[in-house]
Amino acid sequence: MNRNICGFLVGLGAGVGLGVLLAPRAGDKTRSLIRGKAADGAAYLRERGTEARDAAAEAIREGTRQVNKGTDAIRTAVNAGKHAFRESIRS
């Protein structure tokens, strides 16, 4: 693991440990506050994940529409070319 990440995680753990030890609230209140903040963070991440998934799905749908539109245009042009070629042979 990268040394910077390890250092960050060790520092984070030490900070949380000292914060809990030196907190002005009682242990029950501190744990309740931590649980509430963790639940809020989890809800925020779920919401952002849902938004990102929906945006990606819409981008995929739009891309598919554009590809289908291009495919239809190419198909029309090829058919027109075939028709023109056949007409030129008949003449």
Please give the pLDDT value at position 1: 54
**Predicted confidence band of residue 5 (pLDDT cuts 50, 70, 90):** confident
Q: Are 55 and 47 in contact (CB under 8 A)?
A: no
Residue 17 is predicted with a pLDDT of: 79
Tokens of 76: 């029309």
What are the sequence ranges of the domains in the chain?
26-90
Please tell me whether the overall predicted TM-score, pTM, comes out greater than 0.75 for this model: no
Question: 53 φ, ψ to 5°?
Answer: -65, -45
For the stretch 10-24, pLDDT in tens is 888 888 878 777 777
What pLDDT shows up at residue 6? 81
Condensed to tens digits (0 to 9), the pLDDT of residues 39-83 reads 998 999 999 999 999 999 999 999 999 999 999 999 999 999 999
pLDDT at 32 over 90: no
